[in-house]
């Protein structure tokens, strides 16, 4: 019987980077309305200054700061009002010594003025205004290009576009966004015992949850699902489906059949499609040790465990980083929630351990509480807010210890 040659997760990541460094994903331009969740194939460089004019950040009076030196509420600087600017319109007004121009928030600051006094610190006297506090240069105004200067790189190539980026693209006038094509993903679930959701379950059968879980996670990355198939454990059927999946996809995920049991034929089927075939069979993670990594016709094939939680963690630990980092060049890492462990656990497995937790808010911050259950139990997934990682170098986790929680 074949035995695992277990490889550390970091070594697997390095292997994937080497094997697929020549992989090319085509680019396209899409409307900004469709850009959320896609990955930039080019850097976004500003083709104009933002703002393109000096603008006020408050409602108030544009003045020369020199005119306000030493003024106060009891001894205001009295300036002559020479006009006002209007939103959305240009102006030919200017401000000389002893003069002021009313400017609304976002309005153009006239030539000659170097600060804006908020209206709360002024008092009108018909054609004059009293400035009740000294102003400093550039106070309450944004200069040309202060936000973004012409030629600035605003978003780097490989940025996964979030909701926070859409407004920036719009402000830059980018209405067609250069992005990578969606990564094409095929999902195959194997097992004589599997039944699709919505179908009756007979004794000895279980409903397949991995297919829909993997599909949802891949779609959340912006992937295009090319094939979804549930197949019984039959060599020819799996081989034919895998052959088709490889021909139309960039990434193939096979759930089930990755362990070393007598009926787990997935490694042989993968190898039958051509070299190099299976690159890694066994990764030092818990749960998820039986995970396979393969390369078939320059396509990535991952054999994931059948147990739902193990499948989920193997995807998060191996497949998702590969799709983002190696295929699309996404370099920005996820920011976890910092919490305090509400439990103590001893770990001596020689593997990186992933532990499902739920988050509880307290007046001192977040607590990460354990969710107990075996790797195949749906409870782990339905109640968990995220997971923590305990590297194999650590012997465990102490109660009260800071932890990073990665949200699902």
Claim to verify: residue 214 and residue 316 sit in the same structural domain: yes
Specify the pLDDT at position 113: 98
pLDDT in the model for residue 311: 93
**Domain count within the chain:** 4
Q: Which of 299, 328, 357 is the last residue of a domain?
A: 328
**Global confidence as pTM:** 0.84
Residues 234 and 275 grouped into a single domain: yes
Cα 304 from Cα 311, distance rounded (Å): 5
Last residue of a domain, one of 290, 309, 328: 328
Q: In what order do the strands lie in the sheet with 251-255?
A: 224-231, 184-190, 251-255, 299-304, 292-296, 276-281
Return the number of other C-beta atoms located less than 10 Å from residue 169's C-beta: 19
pLDDT at 3: 47
Together in a domain, 210 and 113: no
Judge if 154 and 105 occupy the same domain. no
Same domain, 42 and 132: no
Please give the Cα distance from 168 to 161 (Å, whole number): 10
One domain, residues 320 and 242? yes
Structural domain contains residue 16: yes
106 and 90: one domain? yes
The DSSP call for residue 143 is -
Q: Is 200 helix (H, G, I), strand (E, B) or coil?
A: coil
Q: Does 175 lie in the same domain as 220?
A: no
The verdict on residue 3 lying in a domain is no
Out of 180, 197, 226, a domain closes at 180
pLDDT along the chain (408 residues), means of 10: 71 94 92 96 96 96 98 97 94 97 97 97 95 97 95 96 95 96 97 87 88 96 96 93 97 81 77 93 93 95 92 95 94 86 88 93 94 65 90 92 94
Check if the beta carbon of residue 58 is closer than 8 Å to that of residue 118.
yes
* 202, 310: one domain: yes
Q: Which residue has the tokens 């004589």?
A: 192
**pLDDT given at position 262:** 41
Domain membership flag for residue 2? no
Neighbouring C-beta atoms of residue 111, cutoff 10 Å: 14
In a domain, 293, yes or no: yes
366 Cβ contact partners less than 8 Å away, ≥ 6 residues apart: 337, 338, 339, 340, 359, 360, 405
Together in a domain, 189 and 100: no
Bond from prior residue into 120 cis (ω within 30 degrees of 0): no
**Pair (213, 156) in one structural domain:** no
CATH number of the domain enclosing 118? 2.170.190.11
The pLDDT, as a whole number, for residue 192 is: 87
Full domain range(s) for residue 400: 337-407
Does residue 4 sit within a domain? no
Q: Is residue 312 part of a domain?
A: yes
- Residue 318 CA to its chain's centroid (Å): 16
Task: Report the C-alpha gap between 310 and 290 in whole angstroms.
Answer: 9
Same-domain check for residues 159 and 274:
no
Question: 342-380: b or e for each residue (b if 16 or more CB lie within 10 Å)?
Answer: bbeeebeeebbbbbbbebeeeeeebbbebbeeebbbeeb
Q: Give a yes or no: residue 1 inside a domain.
A: no
H-helix or E-strand containing 185?
A: strand 184-190
Q: What is the CATH number of the domain that holds 355?
A: 2.40.340.10
Inside any domain, residue 383: yes
Residue 36: CATH number of its domain: 3.90.105.10
Q: CATH code at 201?
A: 3.40.980.10
Residue 385 tokens read as 């807010």
- Pair 243, 273: CB distance under 8 Å: yes
To which H or E segment does residue 180 belong? strand 176-180
């Amino acid at each position: 019987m074949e035995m695992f040659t277990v490889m550390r997760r970091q070594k697997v990541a390095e292997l994937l980077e080497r094997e697929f460094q020549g992989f090319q994903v085509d680019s396209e331009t899409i409307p900004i309305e469709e850009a959320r969740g896609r990955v930039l194939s080019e850097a976004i460089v500003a083709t104009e200054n933002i703002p393109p004019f000096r603008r006020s950040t408050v409602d108030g009076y544009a003045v020369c700061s020199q005119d306000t030196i030493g003024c106060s509420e009891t001894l205001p600087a009295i300036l002559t009002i020479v006009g006002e600017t209007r939103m959305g319109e240009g102006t030919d007004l200017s401000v000389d010594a002893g003069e002021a121009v009313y400017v609304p928030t976002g309005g153009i600051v006239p030539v000659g003025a170097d600060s804006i006094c908020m209206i709360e610190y002024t008092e009108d006297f018909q054609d004059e205004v009293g400035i009740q506090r000294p102003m400093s240069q550039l106070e309450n105004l944004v200069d040309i290009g202060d936000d973004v200067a012409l030629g600035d790189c605003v978003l780097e190539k490989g940025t996964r576009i979030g909701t926070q980026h859409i407004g920036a693209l719009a402000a830059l006038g980018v209405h067609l966004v250069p992005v990578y094509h969606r990564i094409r993903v095929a999902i195959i679930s194997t097992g004589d015992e599997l039944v699709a959701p919505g179908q009756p379950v007979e004794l000895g059968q279980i409903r397949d949850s991995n297919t829909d879980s993997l599909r949802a996670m891949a779609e959340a990355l912006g992937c295009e699902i090319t094939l979804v198939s549930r197949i019984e454990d039959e060599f020819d059927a799996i081989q034919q489906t895998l052959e088709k999946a490889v021909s139309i996809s960039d990434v193939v995920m096979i759930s089930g059949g990755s362990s070393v049991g007598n009926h787990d034929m997935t490694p042989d089927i993968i190898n039958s499609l051509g070299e190099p075939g299976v690159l890694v069979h066994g990764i030092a993670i818990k749960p998820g040790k039986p995970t396979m990594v393969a390369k078939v016709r320059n396509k990535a094939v991952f054999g994931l465990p059948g147990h739902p939680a193990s499948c989920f963690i193997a995807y998060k630990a191996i497949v998702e980083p590969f799709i983002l980092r190696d295929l699309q060049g996404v370099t920005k890492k996820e920011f976890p929630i910092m919490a305090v462990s509400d439990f103590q656990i001893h770990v001596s497995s020689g593997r990186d351990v992933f532990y499902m937790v739920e988050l509880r808010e307290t007046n001192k911050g977040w607590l990460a509480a354990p969710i107990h259950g075996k790797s195949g139990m749906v409870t782990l997934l339905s109640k968990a807010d995220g997971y923590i990682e305990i590297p194999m170098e650590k012997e465990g986790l102490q109660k009260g210890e800071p932890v990073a929680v990665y949200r699902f």
